[in-house]
Structure 1
Amino acid sequence: MPEEIVITSHPVHNLPDYESSYHSFSWQKEEQYLTGLPGNKGLNIAYEAVDRHAAGKLANTLALRCIRKDRSTRDFTYTDLQRLSARFANVLVNLGIKKGEKVFALTGRIPELYIAALGTFKVTAVFCPLFSAFGPEPVFQRLSRGDAKVLVTTRALFEKKVAPLLDRLPLLQFILLTDEEVVGNNKVLSLQGLMQAASDEFLIPATNPGDPALLHFTSGTTGMPKGALHVHHAVLTHYVTGKYVLDFQPGDIFWCTADPGWVTGTSYGIIAPLVNGITNVVDEEDFDAARWFSILEEQKVNIWYTAPTAIRRLMRMNIRPREEYKLQFLRLVGSVGEPLHAEAVLWGEEKLGLPVLDNWWQTETGGIMIANYPSLLVKPGSMGKPLPGIEAAIAEITDKDINILTAPGTQGHLVLKKGWPSMFCAYLHEDERYQKCFRGEWYITGDLAKRDADGYYWFVGRADDIIKTSGHMVGPFEVESILMEHTTVAEAAVIGKPDPVIGEMVKAFIVLKQGFTGNENVQQDIIAYARKKLGAAVAPKEIAFVSELPKTRSGKILRRLLKARELGLPEGDTSTLEQF
């Protein structure tokens, strides 16, 4: 095991003594640092993130800096965000959007995305961001299953990915185009025009902490994408994790590289930095190593939150960051999305002068649950320790029971005791599926882990076969469904194949229809079709043609067996195998 690392770059931390803070922690006490809506009218994310700061000493503080692809910037103070989000809220009210209705966004990381999120929170509607890289079918699935009433997007994305779907989306009432100056027809409208006509004053209505605020889709392995619903009370988790895990200090400049289409890009790319009153940097461009390091230098970033995929890409490049760039302001680097190998933690220590601090959470948890903290020893490769206020455990789970395992080093299911503020409140339209996530007072994460004698958690693997590729959560079913639409495909099964750069690549095993031969031309045609429908990030990068797929006697495809044979691993129990 790699040697433990002591962080000494910033002697004063918000969590100077983990053990005492963990045992004395109270969510109620932390909530006192939030002000709540005036007149005791509840708790609203947008008020805590923007309006309360705009009404105080942070009014003219830089809240959001958006870096365009050409490196020009657009800045917003907390007062700017208050007024612009109020305009968007009034736009929604003028369109007749009511509490709990769904407002979707399909854009790149442009200012309108962030303003739309905050404005949606203000009217107590539900905000759902989508990856702009999604193909038409994933977009349709989410808009349809999410009961979308409003979609904020660009002209190009609308024409390419949404316009062909309109006949299949009867509930979608308004498309607001961010780059269209003409107001448009009754359905496709100019967001610019609507914003200009709207008032920049808006009174946030009474908001119950349990009112829905956020919808994020996460792919499963046995069905279509699941819509995890989160409430306004989640802002307390975002505040606490920003303060204690990311160690936000007054005047900090923070950069989260995640797109808001991924839950990290909303929880920590929008809400957490703003509710903590610091400056949030956003880059519109995709990954580019030189660009990223120059942004860290030019923007004098203090805290950088990114993903293992990006870290691994940087590790493969012949760059000496501390010698080639001025990174003296950087004091914390965090990572989330996939398990971070010890080598990556040590790379950070060597190349950046800071270990990369891994942390763990899920779409369902809404915020960081287990983390490495700047005030604690770092065990490279470990997930770290639970957030104060979070009770984690390792458990043995049966169909009906749960048995908590206490012996150090014992492998089992990672479970969390219910009750933290950002715990998802539902899978949209799937109550039975939601209830299956719990055994009594415990939430079952679906991940396998172990806890050592010092209380550090170590990720072991996933209990199902979900695929994590380049920060995307990809469920085999939705990929297989698209592959099956191809004229040559009879059956399809998808697995994640380890890749040193993107975590896992999507690989498909395909049985062709009679009369077709699995040659290179057919292979490329299937891949091209999948990319067009799903987007390049989700579509398979490799295809293998097989004569049969392994199945149980009930007809369920055994993806785990495909993966075991692909990687030369033990096949495990094959007693239910029908044939292969």
Structure 2
Amino acid sequence: MKRSLFKFFQSLWSPCTVLPHPKRHLASLVTTSYYEAINWGEQEVPEYFNFASDVLDEWAVVEKNGKRPRNPAFWWVNGHDEEVKWSFEELSFLSQKAANVLSGHCGLKRGDRILTILPRIPEWWLLTVACMRAGTSQLTIKDIAYRLQASKAKCIVVNDTLAPGIDSIAAECKSLRTKLIVSDRGREGWLNFKDLLQEAPADVKCVKTKSQEPMLIYFTSGSTGSPKMVEHTHCSFGIGFTASGRHWMNLSPSDIFWNTSDTGWVKSAWSSVFAPWILGSCVFVHHLPRFEPEVILSTLASYPITTFCTAPTAYRMLVQHDATSYKFKSLKHCVTGGEPLNPEVFELWKRQTGLDIYEGYGQTETVTICSNIKGMKIKPGSLGKASPPYDVQILDALGNIQPPGEEGDIAIRIKPKRPFCMFTSYLDNPPKTKASERGGFYITGDRATKDEDGYIWFIGRSDDVINSAGYRIGPFEVESALIEHPAVVESAVVSSPDPVRGEVEFVQELPKTPAGKIQRSVLRKREWGAGAKNKGGP
């Protein structure tokens, strides 16, 4: 009979001593005021920083001293009566063991890259923290062979489902040295993570990393071309989500935060690791192998979840399922991001639950760029206002700042000083890195307007904007109108080559990236063929 995950991790746990950071006062560190001051530009980024030792281990000390609510740091359920709960102390202990697996059995050294492809299982969180401790860079992917070759990863971690596929392409990936499987049974040619974790000591010393050393590499979603490698430093995500975690996500140590993002999407790092844990909140995870509205709603009703984050597409499905038949006893704050939230969905969720949805906007290359924060007036359909430390402007093609109401490119000021929480570059792609800059700004590739109150109003991707008889049409506006019809579940609008009037096509399913974003580039190719530009009507 298979042991439950709870019993498995419980068998590994023994009390450990976590020492506080020797160079800073615990109070200023763990209450996050120091890191929030960095976000607001009131403090300089420290020379050295490591999220595992400077945040998680510090929370373990606070917890051990009885100065944090009794919520777990991590709470995982699978809907089949299995659950895993870790305190910060347990998370610290187990992640040290996992780091020893990487540096010992896997032979990884500081700076080596590890490619992780796992579903929402506890091991993904352990390995994420273990990579920080060992100084290795973690990558997350879908098209495995392409990313293995592009990243030159030396180690890959998967579960039983993907292992056969990895074996079929491993010979093509010259840098790959170690294959690590998360499984209850062994596989020839693979190291078994669960077995090695049980044997590993927990006396690893966290590497001393400089703030600007590489920590994470994510691939872009591929919604506008070939995925690119985006490199982030230890301080970028580790410190950069402090202000938005506190004010947009409205998190504190007493909160239990559930973010439904898949582990392959950068939003999972944002909202299931860095933002909640730097605020001392509990990360709640449901295994959720596929999106089922009734499972989401019943989970929100059954567990003391205070804060909820899911994609706008998911909210659309939830309101169609009718949330009024569920009672959410603890839920008090809802956020979203990843694609625009239609005002219709905002109003339906508010009507059914009594709760607003606070929309935020960011990219793989950035932390939160804009957001609607608690206490701020929400303008449904708006992305909110600029989040610190960003100066967000709307630019024309020449790099001039547009006046209120005029359309342009969403841009972040990067000169004279580049914000610490932005990506460093597109790895191995200097031309793309250079092309993302215009004057003293980073160009996001998204189009918008800014109103006189500073709210940003999304129009569409730069290559999504439709030119029809001299009119520039943002697909989001058309999509918002379409989904108001009860027969429309979701919509994506691209231009069609019809020289007179164009058309909108109704289909059974829309192509999407692994993050759940609609791939308009695929739809455009169907209409125009590869490489064609938008010329026709909507």
> What TM-score bracket applies, with the shorter chain setting the length?
0.7 to 0.9
- Equivalent in 85, 106, 114 of residue 103 of structure 1: 114
- C-alpha spacing 1:262/1:503, structure 2 compared with 1 (3 Å): farther
Between the aligned partners of 2:420 and 2:490, the Cα distance in structure 1 is 32
How far 1:454 moved relative to its partner? 1.1
For residue 103 of structure 2, what is the aligned residue in structure 1? 93
For residue 11 of structure 1, what is the aligned residue in structure 2? none
How far 1:127 moved relative to its partner? 0.9
How far 1:236 moved relative to its partner? 1.1
Find the residue that maps to 2:170 and give its secondary structure.
helix
Between the aligned partners of 1:434 and 1:542, the Cα distance in structure 2 is 21
Answer 1 or 2: which has greater strand percent: 1
Q: Deviations over 1:326-347 (max 9, x none)?
A: 3132111111011111112212
Are residues 1:254 and 2:267 paired?
no
Alignment of 1:279-318 (within 5 A): 279-285=282-288, 286-317=290-321
For residue 51 of structure 1, what is the aligned residue in structure 2? 57
Q: Which piece of structure 1 moves more, 269-278 or 63-72?
A: 63-72
For residue 141 of structure 1, what is the aligned residue in structure 2? 146
For residue 473 of structure 2, what is the aligned residue in structure 1? none
For residue 118 of structure 1, what is the aligned residue in structure 2? 129
- C-alpha spacing 1:339/1:226, structure 2 compared with 1 (3 Å): same
Between the aligned partners of 1:196 and 1:119, the Cα distance in structure 2 is 15
CA contact (8 A) 2:297 2:323 kept: no
For residue 140 of structure 2, what is the aligned residue in structure 1? 129
For residue 382 of structure 2, what is the aligned residue in structure 1? 382
Scaled by the length of structure 1, the TM-score of the pair is: 0.73
Between the aligned partners of 2:309 and 2:119, the Cα distance in structure 1 is 19
Q: Deviations over 1:516-568 (max 9, x none)?
A: xxxxxxxxxxx9xx99xx9897999999999x9857xxxx721534xx4xxx4
For residue 169 of structure 2, what is the aligned residue in structure 1? 165
How far 1:27 moved relative to its partner? 3.0
Find the residue that maps to 1:363 and give its secondary structure.
coil
Find the residue that maps to 1:75 and give its secondary structure.
strand
> Residue type of the partner of 1:403?
N
How far 1:430 moved relative to its partner? 0.8
For residue 3 of structure 2, what is the aligned residue in structure 1? none
Q: Which piece of structure 1 moves more, 43-52 or 99-108?
A: 43-52
Find the residue that maps to 1:266 and give its secondary structure.
helix
CA contact (8 A) 2:137 2:214 kept: yes
- Equivalent in 90, 93, 100 of residue 83 of structure 1: 93
Alignment of 1:536-555 (within 5 A): 550=528
How far 1:237 moved relative to its partner? 1.2
- C-alpha spacing 1:538/1:368, structure 2 compared with 1 (3 Å): closer
> Residue type of the partner of 1:200?
A
> Residue type of the partner of 2:108?
I
Alignment of 1:209-248 (within 5 A): 209-220=211-222, 223-234=225-236, 235-248=238-251
Are residues 1:404 and 2:401 paired?
yes
CA contact (8 A) 2:63 2:89 kept: no
> Residue type of the partner of 1:369?
I
Between the aligned partners of 2:394 and 2:333, the Cα distance in structure 1 is 29
> CA RMSD for the aligned pairs?
3.4
How far 1:216 moved relative to its partner? 0.8
The total of aligned residue pairs comes to 463
Find the residue that maps to 1:415 and give its secondary structure.
strand
Between the aligned partners of 1:327 and 1:370, the Cα distance in structure 2 is 28
- C-alpha spacing 1:540/1:102, structure 2 compared with 1 (3 Å): same
How far 1:354 moved relative to its partner? 1.2
Between the aligned partners of 1:276 and 1:543, the Cα distance in structure 2 is 39
Find the residue that maps to 1:56 and give its secondary structure.
helix
- C-alpha spacing 1:30/1:158, structure 2 compared with 1 (3 Å): farther
Q: Which runs of 5+ in 2 are unaligned?
A: 1-32, 466-481, 498-508
How far 1:26 moved relative to its partner? 5.2
CA contact (8 A) 1:67 1:284 kept: yes
> Residue type of the partner of 1:151?
I
For residue 483 of structure 1, what is the aligned residue in structure 2? none
How far 1:256 moved relative to its partner? 0.5
Between the aligned partners of 2:356 and 2:131, the Cα distance in structure 1 is 37
> Residue type of the partner of 2:406?
T
Between the aligned partners of 1:244 and 1:230, the Cα distance in structure 2 is 23
Alignment of 1:67-82 (within 5 A): 67-82=77-92
- C-alpha spacing 1:502/1:105, structure 2 compared with 1 (3 Å): farther
For residue 264 of structure 1, what is the aligned residue in structure 2? 267
For residue 353 of structure 1, what is the aligned residue in structure 2? 354
Find the residue that maps to 1:43 and give its secondary structure.
coil
For residue 333 of structure 1, what is the aligned residue in structure 2? 334
Scaled by the length of structure 2, the TM-score of the pair is: 0.78
Are residues 1:27 and 2:39 paired?
yes
Q: Deviations over 1:226-283 (max 9, x none)?
A: 0111110121112221112111123111001101211101111122111211111011
> Residue type of the partner of 1:52?
E
Q: Which runs of 5+ in 1 are unaligned?
A: 1-20, 467-497, 510-526, 570-580
Between the aligned partners of 1:505 and 1:63, the Cα distance in structure 2 is 42
Percent of counterpart pairs with the same letter?
27
CA contact (8 A) 2:265 2:514 kept: no
For residue 6 of structure 1, what is the aligned residue in structure 2? none
> Residue type of the partner of 1:409?
G
For residue 492 of structure 1, what is the aligned residue in structure 2? none
Q: Which piece of structure 1 moves more, 54-63 or 272-281?
A: 54-63
Between the aligned partners of 1:543 and 1:210, the Cα distance in structure 2 is 36
- C-alpha spacing 1:266/1:544, structure 2 compared with 1 (3 Å): closer
Between the aligned partners of 2:156 and 2:204, the Cα distance in structure 1 is 21
For residue 365 of structure 2, what is the aligned residue in structure 1? 364
Between the aligned partners of 2:527 and 2:48, the Cα distance in structure 1 is 54
Find the residue that maps to 1:230 and give its secondary structure.
strand
Find the residue that maps to 1:175 and give its secondary structure.
strand
Between the aligned partners of 1:297 and 1:70, the Cα distance in structure 2 is 16
CA contact (8 A) 1:105 1:151 kept: yes
